[in-house]
Amino acid sequence: MDAIVPATAGDLTIRRDLEPGDTAAVVELHRRVYPVEFGVDESFVTDIQVTFDDLAARGWPERPGDGLWVVERDRKLAGCLVLSDEGGGEGRVRLFLLAEQLRGLGLGRRLLGELLDLARSHGYERLTLATFADLRSAAHLYRDAGFTVVREERAPRWGREDFTYQHYELEL
């Protein structure tokens, strides 16, 4: 477990293992953040749970090349990041979220850097991720790391009429 303590962040730790209750806590963090900040409905949160269920059915996070970063602040889950092996040299970045009080401290950039290091060390040729256009700070991180938008879809989604879903890729 790597301990870091940014000023104003409180007692902050990052761990790389999945513990009992983490999945539910990540889903709940998404429930607390996304509807309030981005106007999505409960179907978004359901999709987060489905993502975890699908990953678990494939054996994540126990396979080589899979990655998990769980951020805890004062012993409570306050962020996460997932890397999943999609086969054929491709990894997928998923579920990247930090609680509001942890944003702007450089933590997201650090986590993404660690994910990229892990992906390269496991021989991934390409990383993909899907997000939406409203997540401007995340998009800035992704683009700074070399990701590019390869496709956008504009359609109603998760209770919103004005939704732009984006697909990013990074060749490693």
The model's pLDDT over 81-108, given as tens digits with 9 standing for 90+, comes to 999 999 999 999 999 999 999 999 999 9
* C-beta separation of 108 from 144 below 8 A: no
Predicted confidence at residue 82, as pLDDT, reads 98
Tokens matching residue 68: 């998990």
Predicted confidence at residue 63, as pLDDT, reads 87
Asked if pLDDT for residue 2 goes beyond 60, the answer is no
**In-domain check, residue 137:** no
Predicted confidence at residue 64, as pLDDT, reads 87
**In-domain check, residue 147:** no
**In-domain check, residue 76:** yes
Q: How many CB atoms lie within 10 A of CB 152?
A: 11
**In-domain check, residue 102:** yes
**Domain assignment of residue 87, given as a range:** 2-125
Predicted confidence at residue 1, as pLDDT, reads 39
Cα distances from 172 to residues 49, 120, 142, 143, in angstroms, run: 29, 7, 13, 14
Exposure on the CB side of residue 120, measured as CA atoms within 13 A: 9
CA–CA distance, 131 with 111 (Å, rounded to integer):
17
Domain CATH for 84: 3.40.630.30
Residue with more model confidence, 8 or 42:
42
The model's pLDDT over 50-64, given as tens digits with 9 standing for 90+, comes to 999 999 999 999 988
**In-domain check, residue 107:** yes
**In-domain check, residue 146:** no
Residue count of the chain, please give it.
172
**In-domain check, residue 120:** yes
pTM: 0.91
How many structural domains is the chain composed of?
1
Predicted confidence at residue 9, as pLDDT, reads 54
